[in-house]
Every structure is written in structure tokens, then in C-alpha cells.
Amino acid sequence: MTRDSATDDADRLTRRHYVAGAGTLATVGIAGCSGGGDGGDGSDGGDGSDGSDGSDGGDGSDGGSSELEIIHWWTAGGEQDAYQALLDGFREEHPDVEIVDNPAPGGAGSAIDTVVQNRVIDGNPPSTFQIWPGQALTPYTDEDLLEDIGDSVWDEEMRDAYLGDVVDLARPAGNLVAVPINIHRLNNLFYNVSVLDDAGVDPTDIDGPEGLLGVFETLDAETDVTPMAHQTQSPWSSLQLWESIFIGEQGVDAFQTLIGGDVSGLEDEVRSALQLLADYLQYIPEDAGSISWDQGNNDVISGDAAFLHQGDWAAGQYRSAEDFEFESDWDMVPFPGTSGVYQSVIDSFVFPTGNPSPEATEQFLNYAGSVDAQERFNPVKGSIPPRTDVPMDEFGDFLSRQFEDFQNSNTQPPAIAHGTAVAPAIQSSLQEVFANFNGSQDVDAAYDGIVNSF
Amino acid sequence: MASRIFAALTRDEGSSDTDESPRREEPSVRTDGGTVTDGASDATTAAVGDDASALGRLRRSRFLESLPFWGPPALLVFFFVYGAIAWNFVISLTGWEGLGSPDYSSLSTEMYARLLSDPSFTAAFRNTLVLLLAFTVLSLILGLLVAILVDQKIRIENTFRTIYLLPMSLSFVVTAIFWSWMYNPTNGLINEALRGVGLDAFTQAWLADPQFKLAAIIFALMWQFSGYCMVVYLAGLRAIPESQYEAARIDGASTIKLYWRVIIPQLRASTMSAAVVLVVFALKAFDFLFVLFGVNPGQSADILSVMMYRVAFDRIQWAYGSAVAMVLFAMTLGVIGPYLYVQYRRGEL
């Protein structure tokens, strides 16, 4: 700007100039704001005006390897306590690692998928995250997004401690990529002892899924309790019940064929299980469509419902209920026809590639696979440890019995409704089929839907 | 800073331009970059001072003067809104699935063909249309009725207005959970009320029975949004002069005739603006369904926005989800476009 212009224009400054100037300032201001924001986020936060931002940036670049970011969905009640117990144990062994807790609760894990997937696609994965093993890992293994931890974490000792089917779930593509930390059983049939006593029903003596339907009929005719607590608001409960019916009728080999994708070869078997499920759904609470599974489970506790088919996380609710004791008030049998089967719902942690803290992640995964971690985590979570050498002193009667069943089980098949058995796209598609089935109970449409899902 | 750069640019172009104009000398010519340019041209040659007429007009134009104001926001909107839509469209032409990167080398309309043969898309599309029409029309009617009633110079009118408008201020999450309790077949208020008046035969499993699911959702949404319609209509009613009511009365019009012939036809603008807002909300009723049913409401209540989320984030089929999103976008455009056009024709834009 020249001297002339300054003198020339001094008397020419009008409102329009001021307005133009203000506009310019606003533009620069906006640019400045966004620039400042960038600085704060990035590693060069030091030159931002905010001192604390700057020091944060410094921490991130220096000690990235000692900061462990964990994404998980254990935010409710006992799950959260269990997770904290796990972290406490890890902190004792590795006090130098700072844990950045990043929960993504909600939607039974569907929220966490969104969070993790977006971060992985952006090339900004967390140190480790919670995920179902098995087929749920395939979107990641397809793109080589998980490190092979077969050498670094899975040593001989650890491999020996896990049962075969569980180890297989940790290597969906051949390499070991996940560390299972807990196992829930899915094929349980919980019941209220006094309700069944009053009705004169012996739950240990039910002959297959078909026999259970007979028991429902008896209960419905002779008592005024709801034969089976169930929810149809979301489809997963019906899907897992159908899985158990199928295994109960056809056995695990047919189930493995089914999840392998050969549905049309098993048309009659699939239809028969669907028909039986439709029959079961006549004996569920009237309000099943507007409650969650734990609201339904309250009916079992109060004696308004007799049975509940659910994963053994349901037992946590019995434990916290007052005056409701294992064996005297409630008990559980394997779903009829599935006694040697321990259908597994598993959580695991993985090692994403491009890891921000490789060292800390490896330490954490090693810890998660240890006896100490699983002994701290599982009693609180209400699950059994996947390691067979964990002492059961802390686990209580029910879990100890489950653990015994687990060790004596012939087979530990994966679960469709809980991600281990089929790829996420197939699982989601099957959920949709069962969402429709809950409403229509149309066997033909559901069969077609299942065929199309695979 | 921006204006100085701009001034420098125009000066350069000015000096290379040969089409000169004497009008440039007029002292009244001032543009936003004028201070610098004037000084600079004084200091250099007369040729620059005699600027091109076209350029002069350009520099005087309101377009450039206002650029610093609408320029940055427009740029941001174009980049983050229209750019994102365009990119979404491109993704819908790929076959992107899973956690890898999209392959832009082979684009096809395969995803759209797949939409047409997908029964769950057909169901979601149908439900979206039904929801859109039924919800909008019913909410407008209900809102109009309530507005007319509230407009009758009643006592505690403000209280009523607040009561009717309150549901609108609640989040979908709250109302969804609230209505799932209302609709509970065993102890929900709706069925209890029906039983209370002896209508046991009409009790239903509202949210479970595929026959009633969508209707129950529409009713709940209507409850939430008719208050908004009421406020819009109330404002419209207040804008109609009292004399028109009186004139109609003197001419012997009945109340119904008065409203039907005189008042309601004047509420067209209110109806338009309320309807557009409602339609857009209907298309976005995602939260309500997601809270009630998760990603799988079943084909009796599935709508496109839920399907889009399910396909993209639950199944990681990004391209297919993008295709659903484009259909949704086209529907929104189908509603907003005519509205904007009408507004434009009337000169209200």
C-alpha cells in the first residue's frame, strides 16, 4: 500500500469501506479459527494459543507407545466392573502403560462396529478393541487389517490351555489374530424351580426341542404362568433360539454344514426348526414385542414365567435378585437335545495393523490371555474363562458347573446371533429375516430369506 | 488481505486490457478494493486509471462486493454438503464392500439394479411413502384443528399452546421409549384405556403385530409433531384480519363455511412451510425406529433411512448403502424442489 493511496483515501472512507473491511476481517477470522483448531488437534499443538493443547500434543508424539487405547462396549453394571477388574490387573503388571478408555456402548455391539470400522478405514485404529472372534473378524482379515499374533502372544503354553474349537475361532483366516477372554454359553434353558415343581415338570427329562413344546403346552393348560420368557423387539433372541432348536434337532454337524452356507441341502431341517420356533412363539409373553430380554427375565424371577432360553449372562440378573438362589429357586439345563454341546459366545481382543502402540498392545494381549486376567475378569462378568487351567475358586457354583460342562463338552460350535458363526453381512441379513419372522411367523418366507442370506 | 489480493488481480487485468473507458475517472466509483487500486493507478499510468468498462462494471458489481460474505460459507457448504453428495453418488456406482478402499476404476449402476430386486428395499420404500403421506397429512389436519380451537380467544391459551408444543421439543429417543411403554400390550396405557372402557376386543400388540406397527409409529410421530403444525397455523390465523371474520358473519356464513371458504384458503403458505418440515422429518424418522427396534424393524416398519444405516454400517456394504442414500436424497429433493420453485416464482426467495 503506497503513501498516496493512504492520503488519497483518508477522506473517502465510507460505510461501504467499513463493510468491506469487516467482511475481509470475518474471512480472515474464519480462516484463523479453523487454522487454530487444526493446530490443537495435530502434533504441532505447541504453537497454538492454548497451552494445554500444546502439551497434549507433546505427550502424544513422545509417549505414543505407552498409551493404550481400548475400545469396548462393557459399560453396564457387572460388565463394567469386570472390565475394571481386568484393567486393575493389567495396571499392576504394567504400571508404565497409560490406558485410554474409549467405550462405545449401545446396540449390543453395533455401535462399536461403526466406530471401529470408520477408524480402521481412516487408517487410525485404536491400540486394541473388543470384537467377537470367528467370522466376525473376516472383514478385517480380508483386508489384512489384523496383525498375526501367533508368535508374539500365542505361545505353546497358551495354545495348550485353550480348547481346540476356541483356538480355531481366533484364526478365521489361518493366522492367529485374536485373544478370546471369556466364553458365554448360549444353549441354556433357565427355569424357575418352584414354578416347574408346582406344574410337576421335570426339566432334566425333556426329550428334545419337540418335547419342550409339549412342556409348554402342559404349562399353558395347567397353570397361569407364561411358559417361556422371550422378547421379539429385536430379532437376535429368536435367531439364537432357532439356532438351539436346530442343533437340538439335527446335531452340531448339520449346524456346521448350515453355517458353511449349504442351506438348500438342509431344507427340511431348516423348515422344521422354523416351524417349531413359530410354535414356541405361541407361548411367549403378550408384550414380547415391546420389552427387552432382561425385562422378560424378570418374569422368571417373579415366578410369572417358567423358562428362558438365553446366554448365561442372564444368570447375572438372578445373582443380583434378592432371595433368588441357584438350584433352590432357579436352575438351568442345556437346551433339550444339546447336552454335550457348549455353543460359545466369545469376546476377544485383537491387534490392528498400523497400531499406535505396538508394544503396549502386545503386553495387553499377552495379559488378556493369562490366567490372572481371566480369573479376575470372568467371575464378575458371569462367564467362564476360555483357558482350561484357571482356578475356579472365585466363580461360584453355577459358573463352576458351567466350566465343568465346558471341559467335558464334545464340541463348542460358534453362534450365528453373536457373530462367531457367519460373516457380519450374513448375520445382519439373518437378523432381518428373523425380525420379519417374529411378526409374521411365515416359515416359507423365512426359509427363502435364509437361503438368500448366505 | 483478501481484498488486497483481489485488487492486485484486477489491476493486472486492467493494465492488459485495451478497451478503455473515460468513465473510470468519476470520483464516485468506489469498490471494496478501491482504496488500493485507486492509489496504485494514480501512481502508475493513466491507461490503468482509464479502466475497461466491462471490468469497471465487474468491480462495481454487487456480486464481487458481497463475495467476502457469502463466499466462505458457500465454499464450505459446497465442499462438505454438495461435494459429499456427489462423492456419495460416485461411491454408489462402485462395488465398495468391507474395510478396504473403494475401486473407482469400474463404475456401474449395479447397486441400483440390485435395489429394484431387493424385497426389503421395496418394503422400506413403500413404508417410507406411507409414513410420509399419512404422517404429513394427518399432522396437518390435527394441527389445523387444534390451532382453530386455540384461536377461539379461550382462557389460558398460552398454557394450551405450551402443552401442545411440548412434545415437539422432546428428542426422538425420549418419545420412542415413552411410546414403547404406552403401546405395551399388557400394561401400556393404550390397552389399559381400551380395557377400561370395555373395548377389550380392540387391544393389540401394537408394536409387535405387523398389521399395526407402522400405524402405531405414525400415530406416535403425529403426537409429537402436530403441535408444531398448530403453532404454524396459529401464526397464519393471527395474520388474517378480524374484519374478514366479521364480514363473513354478516354475510351469514356458518362457522364451518367461514373456515372452509374464507380462512383455510388463506393458510396455503402456512400449510406449505409446515408440510415441508414434516416431510423432511418423516424421511429422517430414523432415531425413533432405531431406538424402538434397532437396525431391524422388520419389513412391516422398515424405512429407507434405517435400511441405509443397516446396509452401510451393519453389513459394511458401503456402495449399496450409498445407493439407498441416493434414493432418499432424490425423495427429499422431490419434496423440497417444487417448494423452492414455487417460492421462487412468488418472489419470496
Gap from A170 CA to chain B (nearest CA, Å): 19
Among A418, A422, A411, CA closest to A131: A418
Round to whole Å and give the CA distance between B208 and B204. 9
Instruction: Provide the b/e sequence for A356-389 (b: ≥16 CB within 10 Å).
Output: bbbebbbbbbbbbbbeebbbbbbbbbbbbbbbee
Q: What percent of chain A has pLDDT over 70?
A: 84
In this complex, is the C-beta atom of A1 within 8 Å of any C-beta atom belonging to chain B? yes
Classify A209 as helix, strand or coil. Answer: helix
Which residue of chain A has the CA closest to B310? A428
Gap from A405 CA to chain B (nearest CA, Å): 34
As given in the structure block, the three cell numbers for residue B215 are 400405524
Question: Side chain identity at B72, as an amino acid letter?
Answer: P
Handedness of CA A274, A276, A279, A280 (dihedral sign): negative
Round to whole Å and give the CA distance between B182 and A395. 41
pLDDT for the residue numbered A399: 87
Element (DSSP H or E) covering residue A274 = helix A267-280
Tell me which residue in B39, B183, B315 faces A290 most closely, judged by beta carbons: B183
- HEC string of A433-447 equals HHHHHHHHCCHHHHH
Enumerate residues 6+ apart whose C-beta is below 8 A from B175: B167, B220, B223, B224, B288
Q: Left, alpha or beta for A354 (phi > 0: left; psi -120 to 50: alpha)?
A: left
As given in the structure block, the three cell numbers for residue A433 are 429375516
Q: Across the interface, do A438 and B209 touch by the CB < 8 Å criterion?
A: no
Q: Across the interface, do A432 and B120 touch by the CB < 8 Å criterion?
A: yes
Q: Across the interface, do B184 and A290 touch by the CB < 8 Å criterion?
A: yes
Q: Across the interface, do A2 and B39 touch by the CB < 8 Å criterion?
A: yes
Classify A152 as helix, strand or coil. Answer: coil
The ranges assigned to domains in chain B are: 118-345
Q: Across the interface, do A113 and B317 touch by the CB < 8 Å criterion?
A: no
In this complex, is the C-beta atom of A440 within 8 Å of any C-beta atom belonging to chain B? yes
Say how far residue B152 (Cα) sits from the centre of its chain: 31
Which residue of chain B has the CA closest to A7? B39
Element (DSSP H or E) covering residue A332 = strand A330-334
As given in the structure block, the three cell numbers for residue B18 are 485495451
As given in the structure block, the three cell numbers for residue A176 are 492367529
pLDDT for the residue numbered B50: 53
Helix locations, B108-156, DSSP H: 110-116, 119-150
CB A305 within 8 A of CB A227: yes
Q: A with B: how many residue pairs have Cβ under 8 Å apart?
A: 166
Round to whole Å and give the CA distance between A117 and A140. 9
- The phi and psi torsions of A183 (rounded to 5 degrees) equal -135, 125
pLDDT for the residue numbered B349: 61
Q: Flag whether pLDDT at A377 surpasses 70.
A: yes
In this complex, is the C-beta atom of A120 within 8 Å of any C-beta atom belonging to chain B? yes
Contacting residues of B for A285, CB less than 8 Å apart: 186
User: Model confidence at A110, in pLDDT bands (50, 70, 90)?
Assistant: low
Gap from A136 CA to chain B (nearest CA, Å): 11
Would you tell me how many other CB atoms lie within 10 Å of the CB of residue B229? Answer: 29
Q: Flag whether pLDDT at A72 surpasses 50.
A: yes
Tell me which residue in B208, B210, B296 faces A431 most closely, judged by beta carbons: B296
By CB atoms closer than 10 A (0-12, 13-18, 19+), residue B153 is exposed
pLDDT for the residue numbered B31: 46
CA atoms within 13 A on the CB side of B86: 7
Looking at the domain covering B118-345, what would its CATH class be?
A: mainly alpha
Q: pLDDT, tens digit, for every residue of A289-341?
A: 878 888 888 888 888 888 999 988 888 888 888 888 888 888 888 998 888 88
Round to whole Å and give the CA distance between A154 and A159. 6
Gap from B217 CA to chain A (nearest CA, Å): 13
Among B177, B4, B343, CA closest to A27: B4
- In order along its 349 residues, chain B shows pLDDT tens digits of 444 444 444 444 444 444 444 444 444 444 444 444 444 444 444 444 455 677 777 667 777 778 888 889 999 999 999 999 999 999 999 888 877 778 888 888 888 988 888 888 998 999 999 998 999 999 999 999 988 888 887 788 888 888 888 888 888 888 888 888 888 888 888 888 888 888 877 777 788 788 888 898 999 999 988 888 998 998 888 888 888 888 888 888 888 888 888 888 888 888 888 988 888 888 878 888 888 888 888 888 888 999 999 888 888 888 999 999 999 999 888 888 888 888 888 876 6
Q: Flag whether pLDDT at A57 surpasses 80.
A: no
pLDDT for the residue numbered B13: 44
Round to whole Å and give the CA distance between B325 and B284. 11
Tell me which residue in A24, A233, A429 faces B1 most closely, judged by beta carbons: A24
Q: ∠ CA A121-A124-A129 to the nearest 5 degrees?
A: 90
Classify A188 as helix, strand or coil. Answer: strand
Window 18-37 of A: residues touching B by CB (8 A cutoff) are: 20-21, 23-24, 26-28, 30-31
CA distances to A144, B68, B278 from B54, rounded to whole Å, are: 60, 21, 47
Gap from A336 CA to chain B (nearest CA, Å): 28
Find where cell 454335550 sits. Answer: A340
In this complex, is the C-beta atom of A438 within 8 Å of any C-beta atom belonging to chain B? yes
Q: Across the interface, do A435 and B296 touch by the CB < 8 Å criterion?
A: yes
Least confident of A356-370, A403-417, B173-187, B200-214: B200-214
Gap from B297 CA to chain A (nearest CA, Å): 7
CB B123 within 8 A of CB B299: yes
pLDDT for the residue numbered B324: 93
Gap from B104 CA to chain A (nearest CA, Å): 16
**Greatest distance between any 2 Cα atoms in chain A:** 108
Q: Across the interface, do B315 and A429 touch by the CB < 8 Å criterion?
A: yes
Question: Side chain identity at A344, as an amino acid letter?
Answer: S
Q: Flag whether pLDDT at A107 surpasses 80.
A: no
Say how far residue A109 (Cα) sits from the centre of its chain: 5
Round to whole Å and give the CA distance between A311 and B155. 58
CA distances to A20, A103, A138, A183, B229 from A171, rounded to whole Å, are: 65, 25, 10, 16, 57
Find where cell 399452546 sits. Answer: B161
Q: Across the interface, do B35 and A143 touch by the CB < 8 Å criterion?
A: no
Window 400-429 of A: residues touching B by CB (8 A cutoff) are: 424-425, 428-429
Would you tell me how many other CB atoms lie within 10 Å of the CB of residue A95? Answer: 8
Gap from A104 CA to chain B (nearest CA, Å): 14
Which residue of B5, B10, B35, B179 to mutate against A (max A Cβ within 10 Å)?
B35
Find where cell 482356578 sits. Answer: A391
CB B240 within 8 A of CB B248: no
In this complex, is the C-beta atom of A110 within 8 Å of any C-beta atom belonging to chain B? yes
Contacting residues of A for B190, CB less than 8 Å apart: none
Enumerate residues 6+ apart whose C-beta is below 8 A from A307: A189, A190, A191, A203, A212, A215, A216, A227, A228, A229, A300
pLDDT for the residue numbered A8: 47
Which residue of A25, A287, A293 to mutate against B (max B Cβ within 10 Å)?
A287
As given in the structure block, the three cell numbers for residue A123 are 487408517
Among A253, A277, A275, A257, CA closest to A265: A257
End-to-end CA distance of chain A: 72
CA distances to A73, A77, A93, A404 from A80, rounded to whole Å, are: 9, 6, 20, 26
Tell me which residue in B4, B69, B313 faces A114 most closely, judged by beta carbons: B313
Q: pLDDT, tens digit, for every residue of A443-454?
A: 888 888 898 888
Long-range contacts of B128-132 (CB under 8 A, 24+ apart): B128/B282, B128/B283, B128/B303, B128/B304, B128/B305, B128/B328, B128/B331, B130/B214, B130/B218, B131/B214, B131/B217, B131/B218, B131/B221, B131/B282, B131/B285, B131/B303, B132/B279, B132/B282, B132/B283, B132/B331
Q: Across the interface, do B208 and A438 touch by the CB < 8 Å criterion?
A: yes
DSSP A205: G
Which residue of A5, A437, A444 to mutate against B (max B Cβ within 10 Å)?
A5
Contacting residues of A for B114, CB less than 8 Å apart: none
CB B186 within 8 A of CB A287: yes
Gap from B210 CA to chain A (nearest CA, Å): 6
Contacting residues of B for A16, CB less than 8 Å apart: 30, 32, 65
Which residue of A15, A422, A432 to mutate against B (max B Cβ within 10 Å)?
A432
Q: Across the interface, do B210 and A439 touch by the CB < 8 Å criterion?
A: yes
